């Protein structure tokens, strides 16, 4: 694949532009994957997931999102950077990518924070448009606590001290990635805090929580075929884990308010209600702690949501069915 790519990159636009070529409806859509905190696009884990996607749906072109071609710098960008700029960069890369940009649509797979960042891509750019987004252990309703550090992890501790003291400063909001999806609420009313609404550089915007709502965000999310939200049953890294379902959790009583009972859904700020009403919103649980993924779970997800078969079987049968109906 590695050697094939440059050639395909050169040839594909001209093949697709030729009037004789048509895309086979059996071809799976390309897949983009956005990895999680600390990972890089070139890691063994990401390569394994890409191979699995090709195995389940042969012919899948996989692109792993990166913010830098240097893997160390790509990994660094999961901790440091301004998400507005990071998402803009990914939007540009994908829009000018020779293979992705010529596809009629793409599928998307987000691991942990990569899940809400792909939602950012869909809401703000969506060019080419995403058809199915699957997220594993993501923080769609933010986090209310930062991950705990190991006892001798001094870098982590120093980083946390900075976050805890200054989460809402402009410096932290434009430099430390997890701070941009940190979310605080009022203990008695459950409403998002004023500081969060005023300073959150990513989540408050992408969830349309501020007074002025961006209708494009809602339109783009509602246009998905499927949004599939996996939560890890024993996740202790993401607090609260139900954030992966857009649920709200009372930090004192642990009471969980399901998305369907929240204002973001009832007033349909980001299109989730519309998507749910057409059967496109799926809440799933998978066993294990944060990102303890088995091939079995991934294969199931790829086979169910990224397979071209489901629609193409119907496409092929349709003329025949219509003929029978006419007779
Ligand atoms: C990685 O980032 C550092 C710091 O920004 C920069 O000096 C270096 O050139 C980058 N490396 C590559 C290969 O891009
Ligand atoms: C809403 O988001 C779209 C896509 O990012 C952007 O082009 C547009 O300017 C935004 N509209 C407002 C009112 O901010
Ligand atoms: C992040 O970058 C955007 C675009 O340059 C800028 O408008 C915004 O102020 C930055 N965010 C913060 C919190 O500095
Ligand atoms: C959260 O739970 C506590 C303890 O049960 C309760 O007093 C408080 O009103 C709850 N907050 C919300 C927003 O429901
Ligand atoms: C929504 O709230 C109502 C009333 O508290 C409750 O009966 C219902 O089960 C909740 N729905 C979901 C999906 O949690």
pLDDT at 5: 38
**Which three-class secondary structure string do you get for 114-133?**
HHHHHHHHHHHCCCCCEEEE
Lowest mean pLDDT among 46-60, 254-268, 277-291, 299-313: 299-313
| 73 CB within 6 A, ligand 1 | yes
Rounded distance between C-alpha atoms, residue 17 and residue 98, angstroms: 12
Q: What are the sequence ranges of the domains in the chain?
A: 29-142+212-306
Tell me the sheet residues that pair with 230: 136, 284
Point out the residues that are catalytic: 112, 235, 290
Q: Which stretches of 79-223 are assigned E, i.e. beta strand?
A: 106-111, 130-136
pLDDT tens track for 39-54? 999 999 999 999 999 9
pLDDT tens track for 218-257? 999 999 999 999 999 988 888 899 999 999 999 888 899 9
Rounded distance between C-alpha atoms, residue 13 and residue 91, angstroms: 19
Mean pLDDT value across residues 142-170: 75
Rounded distance between C-alpha atoms, residue 178 and residue 176, angstroms: 6
Ligand 4 atom nearest to CA at 185: 13
Q: How remote is the CA of residue 144 from the centroid of ligand 2, in Å?
A: 27
Rounded distance between C-alpha atoms, residue 264 and residue 260, angstroms: 9
pLDDT at 297: 96
pLDDT at 322: 55
Model confidence at 160, pLDDT cuts 50, 70, 90, reads confident
Q: Which ligand is nearest to the CA of 261?
A: 5
Residue 294 CB burial class (10 angstroms; 0-12, 13-18, ≥19): exposed
pLDDT tens track for 196-207? 999 999 999 999
Dihedral over alpha carbons 299, 302, 305, 311 (to 10 degrees): -110
Ligand 4 atom nearest to CA at 250: 1
- Residue 21 pLDDT > 50: no
Lowest mean pLDDT among 11-15, 27-31, 162-166, 268-272: 11-15
- Residue 62 pLDDT > 80: yes
- The residue whose C-alpha atom lies closest to atom 9 belonging to ligand 4 is 188
Between 3.30.1330.10, 3.40.50.1820, 3.40.50.800, 3.50.50.60, what CATH number should domain 29-142+212-306 receive?
3.40.50.1820
Ligand 3 atom nearest to CA at 88: 4
- Residue 27 pLDDT > 60: yes
Model confidence, pTM: 0.87
- Residue 158 pLDDT > 80: no
pLDDT at 151: 64
Q: Which helix (H) or strand (E) holds 221?
A: helix 215-222
Closest CA to 119 of 204, 198, 206, 193: 206
């Amino acid at each position: 694949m590695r050697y094939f790519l440059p050639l395909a990159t050169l040839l594909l636009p001209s093949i697709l532009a030729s009037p004789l070529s048509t895309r086979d409806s059996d071809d799976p859509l390309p897949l983009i994957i956005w990895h999680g905190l600390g990972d890089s696009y070139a890691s063994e884990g990401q390569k394994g997931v890409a191979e699995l996607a090709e195995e389940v749906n042969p012919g899948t072109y996989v692109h792993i999102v990166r913010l830098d071609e240097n893997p160390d710098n790509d990994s660094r960008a999961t901790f440091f950077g301004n998400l507005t700029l990071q998402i803009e960069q990914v939007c540009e890369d994908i829009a000018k990518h020779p293979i992705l940009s010529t596809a009629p649509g793409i599928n998307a797979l987000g691991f942990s924070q990569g899940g809400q960042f792909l939602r950012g891509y869909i809401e703000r750019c969506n060019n080419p448009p995403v058809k199915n987004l699957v997220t594993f252990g993501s923080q769609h309703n933010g986090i209310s606590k930062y991950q705990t550090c190991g006892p001798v992890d001094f870098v982590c501790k120093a980083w946390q001290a900075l976050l805890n003291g200054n989460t809402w400063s402009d410096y932290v909001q434009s430099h430390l990635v997890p701070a941009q999806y940190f979310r605080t609420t009022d203990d008695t009313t459950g409403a998002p805090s004023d500081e969060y609404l005023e300073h959150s550089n990513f989540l408050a915007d992408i969830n349309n929580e501020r007074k002025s709502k961006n209708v494009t965000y809602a339109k783009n999310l509602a246009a998905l075929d499927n949004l599939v939200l996996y939560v890890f049953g024993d996740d202790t890294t993401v607090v609260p884990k139900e954030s992966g379902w857009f649920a709200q959790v009372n930090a004192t009583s642990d009471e969980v308010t399901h998305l369907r009972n929240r204002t973001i859904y009832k007033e349909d700020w980001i299109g989730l209600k519309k998507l749910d009403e057409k059967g496109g919103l799926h809440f799933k649980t998978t066993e294990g702690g944060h990102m303890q993924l088995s091939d079995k779970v991934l294969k199931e997800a790829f086979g169910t949501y990224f397979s071209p078969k489901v629609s193409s079987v119907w496409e092929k049968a349709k003329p025949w069915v219509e003929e029978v109906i006419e007779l």
